[in-house]
A and B are shown apart, each in its own frame.
Chain A
């Protein structure tokens, strides 16, 4: 992929609600996709990644993402969120022959106890 876009800028959910954050990519050959999370005041951490194979990818802390080629999407999901999931979430993809990693603008997730 050559770029990713995230259209949800701020999502507010109550605890135990289900989560889906959108990420769309522009096709440019081999598609490698990532989701990163940034907890308040901390650095980015890798949640999960897709390179090939099973389009349903499972990551840490109960998160998963599904690669849907027909929709150019790689949405992040979690069946039941917790207050500790409050963070900013970034979708990312390598570009230009895998030399650079480009990020979406991020989605801020706020979980209300």
Chain B
């Protein structure tokens, strides 16, 4: 049982480049979300999805797009990378909304934008 798988683990981008961070879960969780973690700011919600075909914005959605075509996958797209997007990104999933059964987190993607 793989849980939540994120790829890549590390990435360096140049300003203006685009890329997709992949997230896949094999637990049949309906709820998936993306967070970014920055020192002193905790985790901030970027986008989330309560099921296939349904996505919504979190606290810091600007510069990011998501889609949820299947239950398993929830990719995060950076449209035009900026240095302010340098961060560690975590994908999380849960069987229920609000994480009543606890969120399962991926191992993270460390992104540097130069």
Q: Is the CB of B103 within 8 A of A44?
A: yes
Q: Is the CB of A99 within 8 A of B40?
A: no
Range of interface residues on A (Cβ < 8 Å): 20 to 34
Q: 1/0 per residue B48-61: CB within 8 Å of A?
A: 10100000101100
Majority-rule SS of A interface residues:
strand
**CB-CB contacts below 8 Å: A31-57 with B:** 32, 34, 36, 42-46, 49, 51
Q: Is the CB of A44 within 8 A of B105?
A: yes
**CB-CB contacts below 8 Å: A86-111 with B:** 90, 92, 94, 97-106
Chain A residues within 8 Å of B41, by CB? 105
Q: Is the CB of A34 within 8 A of B99?
A: yes
CA distance A111 to B105 in the complex (A): 25
A91 to chain B, nearest CB (A): 9
CA distance A90 to B35 in the complex (A): 14
CA distance A103 to B23 in the complex (A): 21
Q: Is the CB of A101 within 8 A of B107?
A: no
Q: Is the CB of B48 within 8 A of A42?
A: no
A5 to chain B, nearest CB (A): 10
Q: Which listed residue, B44, B59, B90, B102, touches A43 by the CB 8 Å rule?
A: B90
Q: Is the CB of A90 within 8 A of B105?
A: no
Q: Which listed residue, A32, A36, A44, A97, touches B100 by the CB 8 Å rule?
A: A32
Q: Does B114 contact A (CB under 8 A)?
A: no
Q: Is the CB of A94 within 8 A of B108?
A: no
Q: Which listed residue, A45, A101, A104, touches B98 by the CB 8 Å rule?
A: A101
**CB-CB contacts below 8 Å: B86-114 with A:** 90, 92, 96-100, 102-103, 105-108
Chain A residues within 8 Å of B99, by CB? 34, 92, 94, 101
Q: B residues near A, CB below 8 A?
A: 33, 35, 40-45, 48, 50, 56, 58-59, 90, 92, 96-100, 102-103, 105-108
- 13 A-B pairs within 8 Å (CB atoms) are namely A34-B99, A43-B105, A51-B100, A92-B99, A94-B100, A99-B56, A99-B97, A100-B45, A100-B48, A101-B92, A102-B59, A103-B44, A106-B42
